[in-house]
C-alpha cells in the first residue's frame, strides 16, 4: 500500500513520536471512528513511573503513609526484577493524560500511544459508567483541592488527627460508593444556588460546615461525583449502602473538616468505581485498538517488519493466559479475556460459523464489527459484557470449566465444562465473577439510633451463605467506630441466592 516507514531506529525521539501519533490518530479517528478526549502525552522516567504507581496512577494526590508503603513495595519488586514496570499509565481526565516510559523502544511507544491515548481514551469517553459517574474535566482540579485541603488540615489540626480520619475512611473506601442510585447531574444554577444558600447559612450559624475550611480554599465548583441528596440535614434514608456517605452526613461527633476528609475519600472511591467494574472491557478495548492499529500501520507500510515482530512479541506476552494449575496463574488476565472476546466479536461479524449465527443472530455476519464493538464499549460493563458476548468458541479456546465449592468440604465438584450443556452455565457464572456487587460484601447500614444510645447497626447480607472474614471485619469495625463515635454492631444476615 505504499508509504515509507515512519521510523527505522530502535530509539525514539520527539519528531518520530509526533509522526507516529499523527498516523495513529488518522487511523483511529477516520478508520476506526474512535471518539476521544484531547490527548496529552507525557514522557516520564522509571522513577516517576513508580511515583505515579504509588499515587493510584494520578498525577497528584494528597499525602498519606499508605502511598509510601505502596511505593516501597513496588520499588522493591521492580528493583529486584520481580515485576516490570507498566509501559504506560493513563488517566481518565480531559485532556486524557498518558504517561509513557522513557525506556520504551520506538515500536513500544507507538503501541502504547495506540493503546492508551486512543484505546483507553475512547473507552473513558464513551462507556456509560464513566459518563455517568465520573467527571473527567473536574478530577484534576478536585485532586488539587483535596491535596491543598488535607495539607491545610494537617497544619491546623495535626498530622496524627488527619491521618486517623483518613485511615478509617480508607478502610471503608469500597463502601463509599453509590452502586444503584443514578442521580441527575445538577445544573450550573443549582450549584450556584447551593453555594448561595451555603453563604447565607454561614452568616447565620457558626457551626456551619464550610466555615472551618482553611482560609482561601474553596471546594471546586464541580466535584467529580454528585450526591443524590446534597442537602445537609435531610432525613436519613435507611438502609444505606454507602457507609462513608452516611458517616459524612450523619455521624454525630465529627467536626466539619473531618466530614470533608471523608467526602474526599468517598469522591475518589466513586471516581474509581467504574474502573473496577470494567477492567476486562477497558483493557480489552485498549488492547484490541492497539492490535488493530499496529496491523494497519504495517499494512500501509508505515512500520517495518521488524517493528511488527517486536510488537507481536510484546502483545502475545500481554495477552497470555496461564492455566489454573500453572505456577504463573494469578487469576484471569483481563487483557487476555477482553482482547479475546473483542477479537471474537470481529470474527463473528466477519466470518461467522453456524454456531455463531445461533448464538449471536444480531451481529453474526453483519460485517460491521466496529459498530458492534462501539456499542459494546459504550453500553456494557464486564459483567453484562461477558453475559452477552462470551462465545462457545472462546470458552473452548480458554477451556473454561466451573467448580462448585462448599466450605468445609474436602473437595470441589466440577459442575460444568466447555461443552454443549455447560456453555450457558459457565458464561453466567463467569459474568457473576465480574459483578462487583457480588464480589464485594454487601453491607448496609440498617439502623442508626440518633435519638437514643446512637448505636449504629450494620447488616452484611450474605450471598449464598459466605460470611465476612472475621479478623478483618473486627479491624474495620474499629475504624467504623472511630468515625461514628459510638458503638457499632455488624450482623450477618441471609441475603439469599
Partner 1 sequence: MRLPVMSYFIDRRLNPKGKSLANRQRFLRRARAQIRESVQKSLKEAGVADIGKDRKVRISTKGTKEPRFRLDPKAGGERDFVLPGNKEFVPGDEIRKPRWGEDGGRGKEAADSGDGEDDFEFTMTQDEILQIFFEDLELPNLVRTSLKETPRKSWRRAGLTTSGPPTQINLVRTMRNAFGRRLALKRPRAADIEILQARLDALERVTLQTEETRSEILALKEELARAIARRKWIAFIDPVDVRFNAFAEQPVPASRAVMFCLMDVSGSMGEREKDLAKRFYMLLHLFLKRRYDRVDIVFVRHTHDAQEVDEHEFFYSRQSGGTIVSSALEKMLEIQKERYTTADWNIYAAQASDGYTQSGDARHCAEMLNGEIMPLCQYYAYIEILDEREMEVFANEDSGAELWRAYRTVSALWPNFATKRIARPSDIFPVFHELFKKSEIA
Residue ranges in 165-184 that form contacts with partner 1 under rule CB under 8 A? 167, 170-171, 173-175
Judged by beta carbon, residue 29 or residue 312, the one nearer partner 1 is 29
Residue in the structure block whose three cell numbers are 450523619: 250
Binding mask 267-306 for partner 1 (x = CB under 8 A): ----------------------------------------
Judged by beta carbon, residue 44 or residue 308, the one nearer partner 1 is 44
> What's the rounded Cα separation, in Å, for the pair 338 and 389?
11
Q: CB 350 → partner 1: shortest distance, Å?
A: 25
> What's the rounded Cα separation, in Å, for the pair 366 and 388?
17
Residues 136-165 that bind partner 1 (CB under 8 A): 159, 163
Q: CB 223 → partner 1: shortest distance, Å?
A: 23
Judged by beta carbon, residue 184 or residue 327, the one nearer partner 1 is 327
Judged by beta carbon, residue 202 or residue 491, the one nearer partner 1 is 491
Residues 6+ apart with CB under 8 A from 434: 277, 279, 280, 381, 382, 383, 386
Q: Which three cell numbers stand for residue 68?
A: 509510601
Residues 388-417 that bind partner 1 (CB under 8 A): 398-417
Residues 456-485 that bind partner 1 (CB under 8 A): 460, 462-473, 475-476, 479
Residues 112-131 that bind partner 1 (CB under 8 A): 117
Judged by beta carbon, residue 71 or residue 128, the one nearer partner 1 is 71
Residues 6+ apart with CB under 8 A from 11: 105, 106
Instruction: Give the one residue of 6, 345, 443, 456 binding partner 1; rule: CB under 8 A.
Output: 443
Residues 93-112 that bind partner 1 (CB under 8 A): 99, 102
> What's the rounded Cα separation, in Å, for the pair 375 and 344?
15
Cα-based distances in Å from 132 to 5, 61, 129? 41, 23, 5
Judged by beta carbon, residue 261 or residue 349, the one nearer partner 1 is 261
Under 8 Å between Cβ of 465 and 494? yes
> What's the rounded Cα separation, in Å, for the pair 134 and 124?
9
Residue in the structure block whose three cell numbers are 454525630: 252
Total residues contacting partner 1 by CB under 8 A comes to 105
Under 8 Å between Cβ of 324 and 25? no
Q: CB 3 → partner 1: shortest distance, Å?
A: 18
Q: CB 468 → partner 1: shortest distance, Å?
A: 6
> What's the rounded Cα separation, in Å, for the pair 146 and 64?
12
Residues 46-85 that bind partner 1 (CB under 8 A): 47-48, 50-51, 54-55, 63-69, 71-73, 75-76, 79
Judged by beta carbon, residue 352 or residue 374, the one nearer partner 1 is 374
Beta bridge partners of 489: 457
Neighbours of 497 (CB within 10 A): 6
Q: Which three cell numbers stand for residue 132?
A: 455517568
Binding mask 6-45 for partner 1 (x = CB under 8 A): --------x--xx--x---xx--xx-----x-xxxxxxxx
Q: Within its chain, how far is the Cα of 42 from the centroid?
A: 21
Q: CB 479 → partner 1: shortest distance, Å?
A: 7
Under 8 Å between Cβ of 487 and 183? no
Instruction: Give the one residue of 421, 451, 452, 496 binding partner 1; rule: CB under 8 A.
Output: 421
Q: CB 334 → partner 1: shortest distance, Å?
A: 12
> What's the rounded Cα separation, in Å, for the pair 326 and 348?
30
Residues 316-335 that bind partner 1 (CB under 8 A): 321-326, 329-332
Amino acid at each position: 500500500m505504499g508509504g515509507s516507514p515512519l521510523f527505522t531506529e530502535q530509539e525514539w525521539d520527539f519528531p518520530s513520536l509526533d509522526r507516529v501519533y499523527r498516523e495513529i490518530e488518522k487511523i483511529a479517528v477516520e478508520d476506526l471512528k474512535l471518539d476521544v478526549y484531547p490527548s496529552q502525552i507525557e514522557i516520564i522516567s522509571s522513577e516517576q513511573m513508580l511515583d505515579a504507581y504509588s499515587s493510584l496512577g494520578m498525577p497528584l494526590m494528597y499525602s498519606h503513609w499508605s502511598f509510601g508503603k505502596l511505593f516501597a513495595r513496588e520499588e522493591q519488586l521492580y528493583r529486584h526484577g520481580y515485576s516490570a514496570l507498566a509501559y504506560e499509565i493513563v488517566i481518565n481526565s480531559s485532556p486524557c493524560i498518558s504517561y509513557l516510559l522513557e525506556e520504551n523502544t520506538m515500536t513500544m511507544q507507538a503501541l502504547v500511544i495506540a493503546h492508551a491515548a486512543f484505546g483507553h481514551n475512547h473507552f473513558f469517553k464513551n462507556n456509560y459508567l464513566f459518563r455517568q459517574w465520573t467527571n473527567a474535566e473536574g478530577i484534576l482540579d478536585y485532586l488539587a483541592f483535596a491535596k491543598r485541603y488535607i495539607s491545610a488540615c494537617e497544619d491546623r489540626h495535626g498530622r496524627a488527627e488527619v491521618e486517623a480520619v483518613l485511615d478509617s475512611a480508607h478502610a471503608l473506601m469500597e463502601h463509599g460508593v453509590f452502586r444503584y442510585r443514578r442521580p441527575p447531574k445538577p445544573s450550573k444554577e443549582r450549584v450556584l444556588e447551593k453555594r448561595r444558600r451555603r453563604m447565607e447559612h454561614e452568616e447565620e450559624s457558626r457551626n456551619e460546615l464550610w466555615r472551618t475550611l482553611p482560609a482561601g480554599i474553596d471546594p471546586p465548583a464541580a466535584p467529580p461525583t454528585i450526591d443524590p441528596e446534597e442537602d445537609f440535614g435531610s432525613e436519613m434514608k435507611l438502609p444505606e449502602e454507602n457507609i462513608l456517605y452516611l458517616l459524612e452526613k450523619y455521624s454525630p461527633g465529627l467536626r466539619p473538616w473531618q466530614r470533608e476528609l471523608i467526602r474526599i475519600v468517598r469522591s475518589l472511591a466513586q471516581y474509581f468505581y467504574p474502573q473496577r467494574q470494567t477492567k476486562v472491557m477497558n483493557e480489552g478495548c485498549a488492547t484490541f485498538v492497539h492490535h488493530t492499529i499496529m496491523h494497519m500501520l504495517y499494512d500501509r507500510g508505515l512500520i517495518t517488519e521488524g517493528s511488527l515482530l517486536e510488537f507481536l512479541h510484546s502483545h502475545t506476552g500481554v495477552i497470555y493466559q496461564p492455566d489454573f494449575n500453572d505456577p504463573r496463574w494469578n487469576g484471569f488476565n483481563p487483557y487476555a479475556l477482553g482482547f479475546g472476546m473483542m477479537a471474537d466479536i470481529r470474527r463473528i461479524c466477519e466470518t461467522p460459523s453456524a454456531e455463531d449465527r445461533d448464538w449471536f443472530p444480531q451481529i453474526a455476519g453483519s460485517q460491521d464489527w466496529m459498530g458492534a464493538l462501539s456499542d459494546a464499549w459504550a453500553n456494557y460493563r464486564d459483567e453484562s459484557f461477558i453475559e452477552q458476548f462470551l462465545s462457545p468458541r472462546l470458552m473452548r479456546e480458554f477451556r473454561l470449566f466451573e467448580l462448585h465449592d462448599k466450605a468445609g468440604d474436602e473437595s470441589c465438584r466440577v459442575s460444568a465444562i466447555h461443552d454443549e450443556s455447560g456453555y450457558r452455565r459457565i458464561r453466567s457464572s463467569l459474568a457473576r465473577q465480574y459483578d462487583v456487587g457480588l464480589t464485594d460484601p454487601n453491607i448496609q447500614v440498617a439502623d442508626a439510633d440518633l435519638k437514643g444510645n446512637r448505636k449504629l447497626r450494620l447488616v452484611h447480607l450474605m450471598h449464598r451463605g459466605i460470611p465476612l472474614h472475621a479478623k478483618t471485619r473486627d479491624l474495620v469495625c474499629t475504624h467504623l467506630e472511630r468515625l461514628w463515635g459510638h458503638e457499632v454492631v455488624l450482623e450477618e444476615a441471609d441475603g439469599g441466592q
